[in-house]
Structure 1
Amino acid sequence: MKDNLDKIFKNLEGSFDIEEPTIGHFNRFEAKLNKTVAAPPKKGTNLFTFIAIAASIVLFFGIWIGSSFSNSGMELAAISPEMQETESYFVTVIEKELQIIEKERNPETEQLIKDALNQIKKLEKEYQVLTLELKESTEDQRIIYAMISNFQQRVDVLQSLLIQIEDFKELKTQNNEKFI
């Protein structure tokens, strides 16, 4: 270990800064330090600090109370690890389907996509109602089944849309072949 330190210092031997500061440097530095220390504290700062702390405490309690009485519901993932896995699966499938649909978006398919996304929005609103119901009654299996069914309906709508888009593309290709 000592040999390593000796090597390091030997390699750095000529690169150390050994220059002395200019004359009066320490006096100028000390004057700057004294200048900043000499400023008296303002009395208004204490009142402002007190008000800021009080407002922070009130805000914290407001957020805490608001979150405990909020209208947000309970997700499937909060029920059990199996439900979390189920919800994660459906969310992943829906996201993948939406990515595929976005790639197929063009002026000709726009209306089909818009209609399907409106159906998805309705199903998402229904799901939000189900989350509120689940928060009220976590033991009701019908609500859990309805939530899973809602996810499945969303997947079905998206898959149906993809089939319609493929049918539309195929029909368009056939029509183009007839005119050639």
Structure 2
Amino acid sequence: MQNKNEKLEQRVFKLKDQFDIEEPEIGHFNRFESKLKGRVASDHKTNVNIWKWIAIAASIALIFSVGFHNFDKTSNGLELADVSPKMEETQSFFVSTIKQELKQIDLKRNEDNKQIIDDTFTQLEKLEKNYNKLTLELKRSNKDRRIVYAMIANFQQRIEVLQFLIQQLNELEQLKNIKNENTII
């Protein structure tokens, strides 16, 4: 320990000419305090906006992680992919299409359309629960074709819901642009 203290003392002694020992000018602390007060007020506004966007991003991440998890999870039942190689291709196609649609929606999400998107995701959750029930029925029924068709229809309904949402988001965006153009003129 003494060796370290000696090294520290030697180092301080070598650097003593480089230390800033000047006193600040008169009024420095008052000027600093007034700048700090002005900055705190603007920082508060910025912090509120930052937290608002962080909250929006977190909710988006949560919704999509739940959505992606539900599309990828395997239930106790049978998936389409378990029926045949062709059905595996079909399921893969639907899942990738749904993920693409979700990415498009994520890019369009903002405070103006949050409610529409949330409502749509509520519908999607119902469809996903239905699909999970169908996987259980498929297992019990020994791969009944009617259930396979119902599962395919479920995927199609989810895609239709997402496409309709994207259409609505595009229309809202166009209306907003028209309203802004009219306001500017």
Distance 2:108 2:151 in 1: 28
1:142 to 143, 146, 149: 146
Partner SS for 1:179: helix
TM-score, structure 1 normalization: 0.60
Map of 2:175 onto structure 1: 171
Structure 2 gaps of 5+ residues are 1-74
TM-score, structure 2 normalization: 0.58
Letter in 2 for 1:134: L
Distance 1:149 1:118 in 2: 18
Letter in 2 for 1:122: K
Distance 2:138 2:183 in 1: 57
Map of 2:136 onto structure 1: 132
The percentage of aligned residue pairs carrying the same residue is 51
How many residue pairs get aligned? The number is 110
Distance 2:88 2:143 in 1: 16
Partner SS for 2:171: helix
Shift of 1:72: 1.0
Shift of 1:176: 1.0
Deviations 1:76-107 (A, max 9, x none): 10000000000000000000100111111110
1:104 has 2:100 as partner? no
Shift of 1:118: 0.6
Query: For 1:154-169, what aligned pairs fall within 5 Å after superposition?
Result: 154-169=158-173
Deviations 1:105-157 (A, max 9, x none): 11011011101111110000000000000000124111000000000000000
Aligned residues of 1:97 and 1:159 also touching (Cα < 8 A): yes
Structure 1 gaps of 5+ residues are 1-70
Greater helix share, structure number: 2
1:114 has 2:118 as partner? yes
C-alpha RMSD over aligned residues: 1.0
Instruction: Give 1 or 2 for the bigger CA radius of gyration.
Output: 1
Partner SS for 2:127: helix
Distance 2:143 2:92 in 1: 21
Letter in 2 for 1:174: I
Distance 2:90 2:142 in 1: 17
1:95 has 2:92 as partner? no
Letter in 2 for 1:149: A
Aligned residues of 1:73 and 1:128 also touching (Cα < 8 A): yes
Letter in 2 for 1:128: N
Letter in 2 for 1:141: R
Aligned residues of 1:79 and 1:138 also touching (Cα < 8 A): no
1:151 to 145, 155, 171: 155
1:80 to 64, 80, 84: 84
Distance 1:91 1:139 in 2: 20
